[in-house]
Amino acid sequence: MARETEALLLRDTQKDLFFNPQLAVETQYDLIYIKNQVILGWPLGAQRLFAELARENTVIIIGVALGDEGKGRLVDNKIKFLLEIPGVQKVVVIRFQGGSNAGHTIQIRGENVGLHQVPSGIMYAETVGIMDRGMVIHPEDLITEIGYIEDKVGDTRGKLILSSDAILVTDLERAEEVLNTIKQKKAAGGTGRGIGPAYAHFYDRLGLNIHDLMDENWRETLGTQYDRYEKEFTAFGLDLPNVLVPDFKETKRSGKSKTRTVGQREEFLDRLEDARKKLIEKDLVKNTFVSHTNIYSDLSYGVLFEGAQALGLHAWLGTRPDVTSSDTSMDGIKTGTAVWRGQDILDRIGVFKIPYTSSVGVRKMPTHIELPKDLADLPETATDEQKRAAYIRVKAREKGTTSGRFRDILHLDLEMIRYNCRMAGIEVLAGTHLDIAREGETIKVCTHYTNGSGERVPYQPGLRYLNGVIPHYIELPGWDGEAVAKAKSIEELPDNARYFLAFIQGTTGYPIVAVTTGPARENFISVPDREIK
């Protein structure tokens, strides 16, 4: 079979699967679990589908579940990979959406450092991180975050660029999340980092950008914003200076979630003035339009777009109310950089957790597993799936890096993953947490939905719709998670782990190209491209 045909066939498989996955489920089960035929990886030599349009050495990494898939690990590995390509001397890591609602922990010289607004890869000498115009940036927290990073890696001058067009978040937008909760008479559902209000005011044009903070007359501009907010708070009987907002500095220092008050007008402006001074001192703020145009044509740069949140949290394509306010798909890079388009990217990777999915928020997705907040309250009569979910929560430490909240555990939902992959624009999958499984257990995987009349219905974002679907499951055998953590290659994985991966590849139509097998950096297996007969 011609190599190009392989790639086209994959695309057709994805289309067929989208409309009729049951057939694939039966065929794949038979091939893999009965006949031991395991197909994994991208077809060797097959052209990426959009290769002619794309720029060389470009990668995008996006979550295709409901967030917290472990994207940081994949980004780390891809930076290394890009740097090994002959001729590539630097890698530019670009964050194009989101802000301090994102969070993951990386290890620098054996110590854990949390990243929120700063792009990954900061610990490599050869990387430059761009916080681009699609991001929402809180300057004070950014300076605190950079301070922690510099304690570990030294001066970051020249390694970080902040777009002058990025959207500005201050404590005012954070306070507004509190006000929104009062207006709605229920939690507004954000991380409290001001993300929703900042994006909302980008659209209604009431908000500000980083360049407004850099202007000479910034105190006047931000003072006017403060006055406007104060008036609105007063109308709701609230005293703006006393509203509590997250205190990142104290939270970092104490390791516990801390808050502080917005403060009086001058206090608010003085805090911003400190941050502004540091931004200037560190020469962080640039016109990234110019940087991108230079980078695009210089092939000594590898380029990695680091997605935050996930397709399942996309403002339009995720399931409300627990969605963020940005375009988390590959298309987000167009608005988030104003130079790059999805078509420009060669390597498009979707990340998901292999044996389960996790989620934060209040909504209950179709494959939600009910667990008490405190696992000590899990009754003796708990079902096997609840016991498995409890094991996952503890073993995989399913607690948000940013929110500190416990995450919900869900059965892997292939109906949702297929939709998310398609809408994210990815071409291949990388799976994480392959070690979170036990020999002898049963892992339920949702293969498709039906409606009340037994007809097959597809995933569609929105609880109003999803509350009416009935998920259908296949039960697959678990595997020894400890053996997974020791494996150095796909061949060394326990059979049931390989079968499970092949089943996901076959029933989503997206090749699996990498898996993580444990928390350490070296717990990583690249799936070699497969030979085409």
Which residues are annotated as catalytic? 68, 104
> At its nearest, how many Å lie between ligand IMP and the CB of residue 429?
19
Closest residue to ligand IMP using C-beta atoms: 67
DSSP state of 495: H
Nearest CB to ligand IMP, comparing residues 189 and 511: 189
Peptide linkage before 321 cis (omega within 30 of 0): yes
- In angstroms, the CA 377 to CA 368 distance is 18
Contact 210, 168 (CB under 8 A): yes
> At its nearest, how many Å lie between ligand IMP and the CB of residue 187?
9
**Cβ density class 347-383: b for 16+ within 10 Å, e for less:** bbbbbbbbbbbbbbbebbbbbbbebeeeeeeeeeebe
> At its nearest, how many Å lie between ligand IMP and the CB of residue 446?
20
- In angstroms, the CA 392 to CA 375 distance is 11
> At its nearest, how many Å lie between ligand IMP and the CB of residue 252?
18
**How far from chain centre, in Å, is Cα 444?**
24
Residue 473 half-sphere exposure, CB side, CA atoms within 13 Å?
Answer: 15
Nearest CB to ligand IMP, comparing residues 57 and 251: 251
Name the residue with tokens 């995933």. 459
Residue 508 half-sphere exposure, CB side, CA atoms within 13 Å?
Answer: 34
Nearest CB to ligand IMP, comparing residues 10 and 66: 66
Nearest CB to ligand IMP, comparing residues 331 and 492: 331
Nearest CB to ligand IMP, comparing residues 58 and 251: 251
Nearest CB to ligand IMP, comparing residues 100 and 163: 100
DSSP state of 135: B
* Contact residues for 377 (Cβ-Cβ < 8 A; gap 6+): none
Would you state the structure tokens that stand for residue 465, as one six-digit string?
A: 């719709």
- In angstroms, the CA 529 to CA 157 distance is 39
Contact 145, 118 (CB under 8 A): yes
Query: Applying CB under 6 A, which residues contact ligand IMP?
Result: 67-68, 101-102, 189-191, 193, 195-196, 308-309, 313, 322-325, 360-361, 403
> At its nearest, how many Å lie between ligand IMP and the CB of residue 67?
3
CB burial class (10 A; 0-12, 13-18, 19+) of residue 236?
Answer: exposed
Angle at 188 between CA 183 and CA 189, to 5 degrees: 175
Nearest CB to ligand IMP, comparing residues 318 and 509: 318
Listing DSSP states for 267-289 in one string gives HHHHHHHHHHHHHHHTT-EE-HH
> At its nearest, how many Å lie between ligand IMP and the CB of residue 421?
18
In this structure, are strands 428-432 and 512-516 parallel, antiparallel, or unpaired?
parallel
> At its nearest, how many Å lie between ligand IMP and the CB of residue 100?
9
